[in-house]
Structure 1
Amino acid sequence: MLSVITCLDDTAADRLVQEITWADHDIVARVDTAHELIAHMKVRDLDGVVVSATRRHLSLEVLAEADDAGIRLVAVASDDADRRYALSLGLFEVVDARAPWSEIELLLRGGVAVPRGAAAQRGAGSVIAVWGPAGAPGRTTVAIQLAAELAFRGKTVALVDADTYGGAVAPSLGMLDESPSFAAACRLASRDSLTLAELERIASRYTSPRAEFWILSGIGRASRWPELGADRVATVLGACRQWVDYVIVDTGFNLETDEEIASDMFAPRRNAATLAALRQADRVVAVGAADPIGLSRFLRAHVDLLEQVETAEISVVINRLRASSVGSNAQHQVQQTLRRFGGLDDAVFIPLDMAGVDAAVLAGKSISDAAPRSPVRTAIAHLVDVSILPPSAQGTSRKEARRAARLGHKGGPLQTLRARRLG
C-alpha cells in the first residue's frame, strides 16, 4: 500500500482519487496549492505525491522539498502547455490527465535503483572531464567533438553538461534546453531512483550518419545551480559508467573552494558540480585559449586544477591557435610559454577555424558533421587516437570496419588503413 498526497485540479482529482481508493492505497491528504503541498510534505511520512502540472500546484520549491524528503513525485498534464511546464522544471515523470492510476503507480514505485554512492564503484565506462579557465576557451566545442569522435569510432558515449554557470551543450546542438535532463538525473539520484532505464528515458539523443551519442543537457538558467549537488553529480556519473563506454563531462570554469569556509557548512556550493566531476574523472582535458590573456588565465588556473585532481591523467589542449595573436611560428611560441611558465609539454594544438565552428553552431551539429575537413576536427581526432583510446581500440569506426572487410583478404594491416585515412 502506498501513502500519497494529491494536489490536483478539478479535471483529474475526482477520477484519480476514486481509482487510488479502489486500489487500496492511502490518501493522507488532498491539497489545492503548492504552498499547502510543501507544508504537508514537511510533516508527513509519504511514498509519493500526485500533482497537476500547473503553476498553482507545482513549483521548484515543491520539487526541492520532495528531493529533500526522498518523496517520488508524478505530475499530471492536461495539455501540452502543462507538460512543457513540468519539463521546464526538470520533472520528467509526467503523465496524461486521462492516464489510469496503474500508470502513475508504476512511476511512483520506480524500479531497481542505482545505489547512492555508486560513483565509487568504478564500472567499465571511463569519465573524461573537459575543463578550462574563465573566458570561454572552448570547453563545450571540445567536449562535443570528443563525444562525436569517440562515437565515430564505435564507442557508446554520453555527453553530460555539468556547467553550473549556464549549460551550452543543448543550444550548440540545436536542441531545446528548457528541460535540463542532467538536473533531472541528479534529482532521481538524490532519492535513490536513478536507473539505467531512467537515464535512457530522460536523455536526448544526437543522431547523424557519422555518430550517435546520448546527451544529458545542462541548466539553461544559472539560478538552478543548487540542483547539481556534489553527491548527486557523483552518483549520476557512477551510473553513467555502467551505461556507456565513455562519459564526456562539460564542466564549469570555477575551482574556488573559499565558499566552504562559510558558517553554514551544509549549504550547497555552486562549484561543487565541477569539483565532483573532476574528482570522478579518469582523464581531464584542460582547455586554454592560444592568446596572451587566455594563456595567462590557463597557467594560473592549471595550478589550482592540479590541487583538485589527484588520480586523473591531464591532457592539455590549446585552442584557437593563430599567428595574429602570438606572432609568427605560433605553435612554437605557445609551446615555449607552456614549458617555461607551466612545465607543460605535449599539448595538443587546435588551429583557429571560425568558419568550421560557426557552421557547426549554425547547423546545430558537431564539427564532424558540419565541417568534416576542419582542422579542429583533425586535431581532436588526433587527441582521441593518441591519448584517449587504447591502441587496441583505435580504428574501429563503422567506415573503417567496412574498408577492413573489403581489404582484409589482401592482408592489409589495420595500421595501414588508419594511416591512409589520416593521410
Structure 2
Amino acid sequence: MGTPLDSGTRTREDDRTARVALMRMAEAGDPVMGRLIAWCGPRQALEQVRRGSLDPDFATKENELAERSRRRSDLARLVAAWAARYTDPDADLALGRERGARLIIPGDSEWPTQLDDLGDARPFGLWLDGQANLRFACLRSVAIVGARAATPYGVQVAAQLGSELSIRGWTVVSGGAYGIDAAAHRGALAGGSPTVVTLACGVDECYPRAHEDLFRVVRSQGVVVSEWPPGAHPTRPRFLVRNRVIAALSRGTIVVQAAARSGALNTATHAAGLNRHLMAVPGPITAVTSEGCHMLIRSGKAVCVTSHEEVIDLVGSIGADLAPERRGPIRPRDELNDETRRVLEAVPARGGAGPAVIAVAAGVDLTTAIGCLGGLAAAGFVEPVARGWRLRRQADLQGRGDHAR
C-alpha cells in the first residue's frame, strides 16, 4: 500500500501529464481553458474535454460571462475543437526529455509566481531548456523589446542596456527576434547574468534560424522558455500571445525602438495591464522606429529612460537603487562665491583693465575687487598686465564657458 507521500507524488505527476495534454489541445493563453482548469483542476478538465461534456455549472457561468461581456460563446464547438487536437501526452514528455527540455507547472519550485498575475491567461505550463533556474533568474528581471528592423542606434542602446543591467545582476527577458531582442540578449550574455528567451515555438526549434548560435549560448548561461510543446512551429498569433509572458516575468518592460504599429507595443500593453513599470527610450523624431516610443512617452503610459541607472531606479528596491542625479561637468569656477565670480566675469580676455574699472563692472567696492583679483590670480584665473588685469588664456577657454569674451 502506498504512503500518503507516494499518493501525493502520483497526483502531482498526473496533473503534470494532464497539463501536457491540455497544452496541445488549447492554444496558449486561452482564458476559457484557464478558467476550466481553475474550476476543476487539470485532470478533471482533460476528462471533461475528452468526453465532450463540460460541468453544467461551469458551462452556465461561462455563458453568463459571455453575455455580460457581449461576446459570442459556443462552448460545444470549442470543446469539440479541443478534443480533436488530443495527442498522447507521454509522447510529448518523452520527446522533451530526449531533446533536453524540462516541463514546469504552477506549484513547482521553479515556477515564477509572478505569472499568476495573468489570471485566466496564465500559462498551463512552461517548457524550459537551459542551465538557469527560471524562478531565481526572474526575481530581478527586466524585459527589453523593440523593432526587428532596428537601426544601429537602437541596436547599440539595447546591447548597452542589456550589458549594464546584466553586470549589476539583472536578468534580461526578451523574445529572441532580430534587431532589439537579439542585441539585448547579446548584451546580457556579455554582462554575465542569465538571460531568458521567450519563444513562440517549441524550445527545440530555432526561430529565427540565424540565431542558432545565440540560443546555444543562452542555454548555457540562461534559459529558453515556451508554452508550446517540443516540435511546435511558430505562427503569427503565437508571437502576440507569448508577449504577455515576457511582460509578466519581468518587473518592468523597456521599449527601445518601435514603429506606430509594432509587436513591441503589444508587449507594452500587457506590461501596463499587469501594473508593471513601462519605460521607453527616446530617439530621433525623424525615425519611424521611434514613433511608438514617443507615443508611449507623450501619452504618459511610459517613463522616458536613457540609462540603466534610470531603469534600476524604477524597478529596483525603494531607496536602495536610486539613480544618481545627472549634472554637467564641474569646472573650477563653479567653486567660486558670487562676488568672486562677478569680478571674474568683469575681467577682460584681451588688453587689460584696472581694479577700479573691474570693480564698477562687477558691482563691488574697490577693496573687494582687489581682494578677489588676488585670489583669482593665485588660483590661475587672471594675470597682471601693463594695463591692469586680464584673463589667463586657459581661464578664458575653460572658466568662462559660453560667456567668454
Structure number with bigger Rg: 2
Tell me if both proteins adopt one fold, taking TM over 0.5 as the criterion.
Answer: no
Query: Of the two structures, which has the highest relative contact order with CA contacts closer than 8 Å and spacing of 6 or more?
Result: 1
With the shorter chain as reference, the TM-score category is: 0.3 to 0.5
The normalised TM-score by structure 1 is: 0.34
